Chain A
């Protein structure tokens, strides 16, 4: 493939942002920037669909690779996709398009800047998922902090400054240790190229510390208990589009990082730290589910449910089984779509009533029937009803864990029940019951554009819920390969220690 398709995916939103920056910001030409952003986002989505179409399922090699000298004798700009990353790229371009449409009709202040921030964000996120060099990965991974900080800080709610700072400093603190690890890997192995590192491997004695350094960054970003506290704050204060980006894609960077780097580069350490991950994930699942039950604020509830869902994801990744890993990726994609939709749903009623407190609502079903139906689809998706993507993800993950450890699996299953409890209870309190609040009677049902967005999100949730085959096929071979490398490394190390 000669045409640099991945680089154009990365660059296109940046170019769009650049154009929007030079559009004059009078009322009339706001339209221009809206159209530019929309056009760019849709174009990017189509390119990524084409990428998926061209993608070869039958090999675990990196495809569409580009390799250019960036710093001589040191770092190459290297990008490429395999089965693990391609779905995340699709998710990114899809959700970014949704975000841009949302922003176009909801945000009124400084719209231009918002569009620029989202487009830059899209560039950086795609970069994260297709970079094949640790330093390049770090650049994209950290660069995302700047636009997200601004999105939360400028367009956020009342405590936006606190939340923006917390978000920025937490993630930065986690990541600097990863930077040390990346540089150390360079000096140990002489390269930061991921493909080469996969084949060279990293010496056993360094793996544990390096794994911990990467873990510190990914754990904050995932977020895992006990460093999850930035997430509810950030979600509550962020504008709708910000929450959607955060929940749908930013959290997935960490899950992706766990698969690509923790498992791929440090198999021995991953094996060694499995109990730690199991423990933290279980705490996350049970504890944050309980916390979610008690939330008064809808956005906070969904934020805590995100932490619990990401707990399932980490659990699934570190089962190191085919089912567990496939389930994790599936769960991440599914959670990306469903949480994006849930935040949109919250945004819709927040915009009309300016409150997110659950007890201010009730009886919406008779006022906004369409909304009630759509909201139900996503609520059921979030609690993992068969027929939605949420079910397949959770089911595969639980399948993987049962193979490894029955006690962990049992506790995790309790989490599924709790998940159903808080989601359904929230749904009941908002949608059913008597209309307590008189203001609600005036509410308008979903607008066309909102209906369109939610249907766009509902379609894949249901479609892939019934027919997961295309997604599973895409990731299967790459995961198989990853596990082969992993098992081979483990076996050879054990053989070596026996021999010694």
Chain B
């Protein structure tokens, strides 16, 4: 008998999803209502998820669906960042005319897919979740359909993502063929070290997942899609799918394949080093802030992968800390981006930031803190994220990875400094509007304060995450 409490969040989100969709269809002009209902249901969802933490870990449906510390934590931060996404962008979507009922519904369904992914302990369940979130994301990317760039980015993402899903499915079939099961635990029992086919399966699945977190060399879609999509969708892209995909990578590598770590460790290290270096170097020449975020997120995923590559609990925990802090920094970054508005027109070029420190001291200070944090300068939160990663990496004596990682931090510091230079050292231009809605202000202030004051209680996050043990 299944304890319904465990899957209450998923049940709740599915039901509210259908309910909200029905309201949207049958009630005229209900976009605002739908939007608010979505917000409310996300808040309820987060309460349900926090409630779950008191229950012991358990698995369901022939142990293909797993509720444990990892899944609870990752779901919580997924939903929390979902709330932030909706909070920051409500005015933006109105002003570019995509305030439609489908928008929140698509976000909800994509989040449902992510939650399924996060909890999956079976290749088929995981694939189902992946497709559900991806399908919603295709539509979201091209949601601003009058805009050519947006349609292009949706199509681009669809074609490339479909290809990567195909490779991933092929990998799944290989793994099934060589281990005789799709369940992670059963695969772990059945694998034989020397099978080449199994290695191919792992590689193919990793390719598909690397595509989702835009790790080099599967990153080609990211800059175009980030730039083309509406900004409210870009922030979604930058945070949520990465949390889900990273969880799947952790579970997929550490549950069935930890014993054959020598087969995949080099691949992850390669992905990590390539992403860190490429993310740092390629961002230098960018002039569009959204494109720049794409490259910087490629680099950040490199650091998260460096933690995973260690094959230790410390490594997983450091990656999870990294992604948590990364999401807060991204919320702050995009909140600043949403504030660059003049007469309902949004600006996203670097030179639009020129001299804003004179006209908008508080906004530019928040931006400054976020950028230094992204660059990993102490005592801001971003430094601790990197600190834990390198702590785990050096524990396993992977000095090469640590040195490359830290050197690319220095390169990456250059382009963050360039933005700061434009904000603080250059001459001021026209003022921007200051009548931002409460949600945007709140999310900017909350995220900046977390980044700035994280160093006072760095232990609190660690203590939560220390409970996550996969090995």
Contacts from A to B (Cβ < 8 Å): 69-72, 74, 110, 135, 138-140, 142-143, 145-146, 149-150, 153-154, 160-161, 164-165, 168-169, 172-173, 176-177, 179-180, 183-184, 186-187
Contact = CB atoms under 8 A, between A and B. Distances in A.
Interface stretch (B58-66, B70-78, B406-414, B432-440): B406-414
B80 interface: no
A168 B412 CA distance: 12
B71 to A, nearest CB: 25
Nearest to B425: A153
B377 interface: yes
Given A70-B458, A169-B414, A176 B379 contact: no
B159 to A, nearest CB: 39
B391 A177 contact: no
B421 interface: yes
A168 B425 CA distance: 15
A172 B463 contact: no
Q: How many B residues are at the interface, by size bracket?
A: 20 to 34
Contacts of A187: 394-395
B210 interface: no
Contacts of B421: 153, 161, 164-165
B18 interface: no
Interface in B352-380: 358, 372, 377-379
Contacts of B390: 179-180, 183
Interface in B394-432: 394-395, 399, 402-403, 406-407, 409-410, 413-414, 417, 420-421, 424-425
A142 B399 contact: no
Given A138-B378, A187-B394, A150 B424 contact: yes
A25 B463 CA distance: 42
A154 B424 CA distance: 7
Contacts of A138: 378
Given A69-B459, A169-B413, A183-B402, 15 more contacts: A70-B459, A72-B463, A139-B383, A139-B455, A143-B377, A150-B424, A153-B420, A154-B424, A160-B425, A164-B421, A165-B417, A169-B410, A169-B414, A176-B407, A179-B390
B462 interface: yes
A117 to B, nearest CB: 11
A176 B411 CA distance: 12
A179 B462 CA distance: 20
A343 B166 CA distance: 67
Contacts of A154: 424-425
A168 B394 contact: no
Nearest to B408: A176
By secondary structure, the B interface counts as helix
Contacts of B425: 153-154, 160-161, 164
A180 B402 contact: yes
Contacts of A150: 424
A184 B394 contact: yes
A180 B403 contact: yes
B394 A183 contact: yes
Given A169-B414, A187-B395, A143 B424 contact: no
Interface in B175-230: none
B455 A172 contact: no
Nearest to A180: B402
B318 to A, nearest CB: 11
Nearest to A171: B410
A165 B377 contact: no
Contacts of B391: 183, 186
Given A153-B425, A169-B410, A142 B377 contact: yes
18 contacts: A71-B462, A74-B462, A139-B379, A142-B377, A142-B383, A149-B420, A153-B424, A160-B425, A161-B421, A164-B425, A168-B413, A168-B417, A176-B409, A176-B410, A180-B399, A180-B402, A180-B406, A187-B395
Contacts of B387: 135, 179, 183
A165 B418 CA distance: 9
Contacts of B406: 176-177, 179-180
Nearest to B386: A179
B417 to A, nearest CB: 6
B90 to A, nearest CB: 29
Contacts of A180: 390, 394, 399, 402-403, 406
Contacts of B379: 139-140, 143
A165 B414 contact: yes
Contacts of A146: 372, 377
B34 to A, nearest CB: 40
A73 to B, nearest CB: 9
A13 to B, nearest CB: 15
A55 B368 CA distance: 40
Contacts of B378: 138-139, 142-143
A180 B387 CA distance: 9
Given A138-B378, A186-B391, A172 B424 contact: no
Contacts of B402: 180, 183
A269 B417 CA distance: 36
A131 to B, nearest CB: 12
B414 to A, nearest CB: 6
A138 B377 CA distance: 10
A293 to B, nearest CB: 33
Contacts of A71: 458-459, 462
B417 A149 contact: yes
A72 B462 CA distance: 9
Contacts of A69: 459
A66 B409 CA distance: 33
Nearest to A160: B425
A72 B459 contact: yes
A161 B425 CA distance: 8
A153 B424 CA distance: 8
Contacts of A169: 410, 413-414, 417
A1 B234 CA distance: 54
A139 B376 CA distance: 11
Contacts of A160: 425
Nearest to B411: A169
A23 to B, nearest CB: 12
Contacts of A184: 394
Contacts of A161: 421, 425
A235 to B, nearest CB: 18
A186 B392 CA distance: 11
A179 B391 CA distance: 10
A172 B410 contact: yes
Contact of B410 (A140, A143, A173, A186): A173
Contacts of B403: 177, 180
Contacts of B399: 180
Nearest to B414: A169
A329 B128 CA distance: 67
A227 B383 CA distance: 25
A154 B368 CA distance: 13
Nearest to A173: B410
Nearest to B424: A154
B462 A172 contact: no
